Structure 1
Amino acid sequence: MPRIHVMGASGSGTSTLGHHLARQLGIAHIDSDEIFWLPTDPPYRTPRPLAERRERLAERLPVEGDWVFSGSALNWAEPVEPFYDLIVFLWLDPAIRMARIRRREAERFGPRIQPGGDMFEASQAFLAWAEAYDRAGLEHRSRASHEAWLSRRQTPVLRLDSARPLRELLLDVLERLRRDFGRHFPIGKM
């Protein structure tokens, strides 16, 4: 108890909610980017081979463990999917989401993503990819592919608008866990 998957579009707050939820529950937090990408500079260039990703999943998200797994892991996290106790799906108005992403990218990478920077082209491609989430089809990481994946799950799904304050989102998840597990999960300092 519990194994929680927090998912949604890039910029919807999955990593932030996952981190704070795990801290509140006193359990491990693993973000899909830690498993999916090899460490490179610039980052997010080289996916880890599928077999290695699945090996890391088994190590970091043990079936008998308690954890929060944040991010999208469509088509490669099948070994742990049957063990999710709760899926939290975050959605956010696309304009707000893209503003968050642009701000986050500027804070993380500064001049590297500006014209002439070593990450400019990759940043522009990432922004175009992220912006397509709400209109892309099933062949991409998109709202459509997430909804299709969710429709095939037996695990309870809690849908939250992540424009709401983080504290409210945490309270919603903790209340759902209380209902599903019959235990009280107090919220501490954030």
Structure 2
Amino acid sequence: MTMARIHLTGASCTGVSTLGRGLAAALGVALVDVDDHYWLPTDPPFTTKRAPAERLASVRAALPPEGWVMAGSFLGWGEALIEEVSLVVFLTAPEEVRMARLARREAERYGARIAPGGDMHAAHLAFAEWARGYDRPGFEGRSRARHEAWLAGLNLPVLRLDGAEATERLVAQVEAALRR
């Protein structure tokens, strides 16, 4: 039996990484987080991007042949990866849910570094503003409009899920889709 090759995507803080961990564990396959290949390891983090060709090669090298879950977005640089995918899962969540998750996650990860006066405060505010822009018409970054246009052009199954639901429920919905 061929193992699933699942790509999870959506706005920041829709639960893509959380679902990725849960789904990979449930299916017994590797989890490949796109951000691990997009950004160079730096301190402070998320400040230096890898070159697009390097990102693509790095992700491809991390994808085992026996199946995987790939979590994150590769819009604008990694579209060639879609050839490897058997199912796309697109997560959405209301802006207020996403922004509350973002604030909680960033505080847990970075603590005082993102508070006023911290070395990551300005970057944190800029990231929050970028994440908030996802649903805004005309937003230039990763956006709902760009995702929808990309999804409409795919020639493979797309499962749309509400990222505000419990991870266990989302895992069950993906597993059910894989059985169809």
- Identity level (%): 52
1:69-107 CA-partner distances (Å, limit 9, x unpaired): 001110222222122110000000111110010110011
What are the residue-to-residue correspondences of 1:28-47 with 2, within 5 Å?
28-47=30-49
Residue in structure 1 matching 2:26, options 12, 24, 27: 24
Q: Does 1:109 align with 2:121?
A: no
Q: 1:136: how far off?
A: 4.4
Structure 2 unpaired stretches of 5+: none
Question: Which segments of 5 or more consecutive residues in structure 1 lack a partner in the other structure?
Answer: 180-190
Whichever residue aligns with residue 167 of structure 1, its letter is E
Backbone CA RMSD of aligned residues: 1.1
Q: Quick one: distance in 1 between partners of 2:115 and 2:140?
A: 30
TM-score normalised per structure 1: 0.90
Q: Residues 1-190 of structure 1 correspond to what in structure 2 (within 5 A)?
A: 1-62=3-64, 64-137=65-138, 139-179=140-180
Which whole-Å CA distance do the structure 1 matches of 2:148 and 2:113 have between them?
34
Structure 1 residue 65, shift from structure 2 partner: 3.5
TM score, norm. by length of structure 2: 0.95
Quote how far apart the aligned CAs of 1:140 are: 1.7
Mean Cα deviation higher: 86-95 or 130-139 = 130-139
CA drift of 1:138 comes to 6.4
**Matched AA of 1:159:** R
Separation in structure 2 between the aligned mates of residue 70 and residue 136 of structure 1, nearest angstrom:
25
Conserved? CA contact 2:8–2:71, under 8 Å: yes
Give how far 1:50 is off: 1.3
Q: Bigger relative contact order, structure 1 or 2, given CA contacts below 8 A and separation 6+?
A: 2
Question: Which residue identity lines up with residue 42 of structure 1 in the other structure?
Answer: P
